[in-house]
């Protein structure tokens, strides 16, 4: 199967996100009759035969990269990832309504709030894994910020004084609460989206449309 991966034709290749969206994505695929037992049972392989689809597993953040490059015809990833990489020319075909969470601005509980920092210093410092979303949000709302990009636990940044606040994705808000942070502003709601490579979307229209239709129906 690995030999045929690079050649056109053959089963449609779907990029499946490992991580928070993984189980819900596989449940959706089960619902439309794609074989997912092998994916569920094996955390080391990267490529799986799903019958009508070839499933390629990767980190959610890489899904747009593989889909843009045509290494996957279709992909599932979060809207947060798509917003952060909004200049990639992929087609965003369907809202799969799974993995619902919010992109928020949060600060330490009891802090006077980010606007107070801004009033006093003319500027606030925000730590985030989503520098573009954060930058655009503050630009739109007319506030000056200094963005600090970090990769790991964002909650750490305000606790030790690296930043006045954070922009991050929250599902339940538990991690924020555990670190004594609270939501100040909600930026955007994010769910799982189905994206397509522009060439596959055009040249394999019937197969793509059939999958989109079934996934939309399964997503409810």
Q: State which of residues 1, 153, 205, 210 lies at the interface with other proteins (CB under 8 A).
A: 205
Report how many residues bind other proteins under the rule CB under 8 A.
25
Q: State which of residues 100, 119, 203, 210 lies at the interface with other proteins (CB under 8 A).
A: 203
Choices 15-23, 39-47, 149-157, 205-213; region in contact with other proteins by CB under 8 A: 205-213
Q: State which of residues 22, 193, 215, 219 lies at the interface with other proteins (CB under 8 A).
A: 193
Is 2:153 a contact under the CB 8 Å cutoff? no
C-beta of 75 vs 114, nearer to other proteins: 75
| Residue 205 beta carbon to other proteins: minimum distance, rounded to whole angstroms | 5
Secondary structure in 3-state letters for the chain: CCHHHHCCCCCEEEEEECCCCHHHHHHHHHHCCCCCHHHHHCCCCCEEEECCEEEEEECHHHHHHHHHCCCCCEEEEEHHHHHHCCCCCCEEEEECCCCCEEEEEEEECCCCCHHHHHHHHCCEEEEECCHHHHHHHHHHCCCCEEEEECCCCCCHHHHCCCCCEEEEEECCCHHHHHCCEEEEEEEEEECEEEEECHHHHHHCHHHHHHHHHHHHHHHC
Map residues 95-114 to x or -, x wherever contact with other proteins holds by CB under 8 A: x-------------------
- 200 scored as a contact of other proteins (CB under 8 A): yes
Map residues 79-98 to x or -, x wherever contact with other proteins holds by CB under 8 A: -------xx-xxxxxxx---
Site for other proteins in 12-41 (CB under 8 A): none
Choices 32-40, 66-74, 120-128, 171-179; region in contact with other proteins by CB under 8 A: 66-74
Work out the burial of residue 4: count CB atoms within 10 Å of its CB; fewer than 13 is exposed, 13-18 middle, 19 or more buried: exposed
Residue environment code for 154-166, b if the CB has 16+ CB neighbours within 10 A, otherwise e: bbebbeeeebbbb
| Residue 181 beta carbon to other proteins: minimum distance, rounded to whole angstroms | 29
- 3 scored as a contact of other proteins (CB under 8 A): no
| Residue 55 beta carbon to other proteins: minimum distance, rounded to whole angstroms | 18
C-beta of 83 vs 162, nearer to other proteins: 83
In the complex, the residues that contact other proteins under the rule CB under 8 A are 8-9, 68-71, 86-87, 89-95, 193, 197-200, 202-203, 205-206, 209
């Amino acid at each position: 199967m690995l030999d045929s991966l690079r050649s056109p034709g053959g089963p449609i290749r779907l990029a499946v996100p490992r991580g928070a969206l993984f189980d819900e994505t596989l449940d959706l695929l089960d619902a439309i009759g794609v074989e997912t037992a092998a994916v569920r049972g094996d955390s080391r392989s990267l490529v799986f035969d799903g019958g009508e689809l070839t499933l390629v597993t990767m980190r959610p953040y890489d899904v747009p990269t593989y889909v843009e490059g045509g290494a996957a015809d279709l992909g599932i990833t979060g809207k947060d990832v798509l917003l952060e990489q909004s200049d990639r020319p992929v087609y965003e075909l369907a809202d799969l309504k799974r993995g619902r969470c919010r992109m928020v601005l949060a600060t330490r509980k009891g802090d006077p709030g980010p606007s107070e920092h801004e009033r006093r210093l003319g500027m606030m410092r925000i730590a985030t894994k989503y520098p573009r979303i954060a930058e655009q949000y503050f630009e739109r709302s007319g506030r000056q910020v200094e963005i600090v990009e970090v990769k790991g636990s964002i909650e750490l940044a305000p606790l030790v004084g690296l930043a006045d606040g954070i922009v991050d994705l929250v599902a339940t808000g538990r991690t924020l609460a555990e670190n004594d942070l609270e939501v100040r502003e909600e930026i955007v709601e994010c769910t799982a989206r189905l994206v397509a490579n522009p060439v596959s979307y055009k040249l394999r229209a019937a197969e793509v449309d059939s999958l989109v239709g079934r996934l939309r129906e399964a997503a409810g």
